[in-house]
Structure 1
Amino acid sequence: MEFDVIQGDIAAQSADALVNAAGTSLRMGSGVAGALRRRAGEEINDEAMERGPVELGAVAVTDAYDLDAEYVIHAAAMPHYGDGEATAESIRDATRNALERADELGCESLVIPALGCGVAGFDLVDGAAIIGDEIAASEPNSLTDVRFVAYSDEEYETIRATTGAAEQSEMNDNGAAGR
Structure 2
Amino acid sequence: MERRFGRTTVSVQQGDITRLQVDAIVNAANTHLWMGGGVAGAIKRAGGAEIEQEAVALGPIGMGEAVVTGAGRLPCRHVIHAATMGQDLTTSAAAIRSATRSSLRADEAAQLMIEETVACLRGESTLKTIIFVGFNAEAAEAFGRALEEA
Please give the TM-score of this superposition, normalised by the length of structure 1.
Answer: 0.68
Runs of 5+ consecutive residues of structure 2 not aligned to the other structure: none
1:39-91, Cα deviation, whole Å (9 max, x unpaired): 11011111111011110010011011111111110011111274566xxxxxx
Match of 1:57 in 2: 64
Equivalent-residue separation in structure 1 for 2:141 and 2:114 (angstroms): 14
Which structure: greater strand fraction?
2
TM-align CA RMSD? 2.2
- Quick one: which amino acid aligns to residue 131 of structure 1? M
CA shift for structure 1 position 163: 2.7
Match of 1:114 in 2: none
In the alignment, does 2:141 pair up with 1:157?
Answer: yes
Structure with larger RCO (C-alpha < 8 A, sep 6+): 2
**Of residues 39, 42, 50 in structure 2, which corresponds to 1:43?**
50
Match of 1:107 in 2: none
Match of 1:146 in 2: 130
Partner SS state of residue 60, structure 2: coil
Equivalent-residue separation in structure 2 for 1:57 and 1:69 (angstroms): 23
For these two proteins, the number of residue pairs brought into alignment is 133
**Of residues 114, 122, 127 in structure 2, which corresponds to 1:132?**
114
Match of 1:171 in 2: none
1:12-54, Cα deviation, whole Å (9 max, x unpaired): 1110001011011100111110111011101111111101111
Match of 1:91 in 2: none
- Quick one: which amino acid aligns to residue 6 of structure 1? Q
- Quick one: which amino acid aligns to residue 13 of structure 1? L
Identity of aligned residues (%): 35
Runs of 5+ consecutive residues of structure 1 not aligned to the other structure: 86-116, 166-178
Partner SS state of residue 141, structure 2: helix
Match of 2:13 in 1: 6
Partner SS state of residue 15, structure 1: coil
Equivalent-residue separation in structure 2 for 1:17 and 1:27 (angstroms): 19
Partner SS state of residue 22, structure 2: coil
Is the contact between residue 37 and residue 44 of structure 1 (CA under 8 Å) also seen in structure 2? yes
Structure number with bigger Rg: 2
Deviates more, 1:122-131 or 1:76-85: 76-85
Runs of 4+ in 1 over 4 A off after TM superposition: 81-85
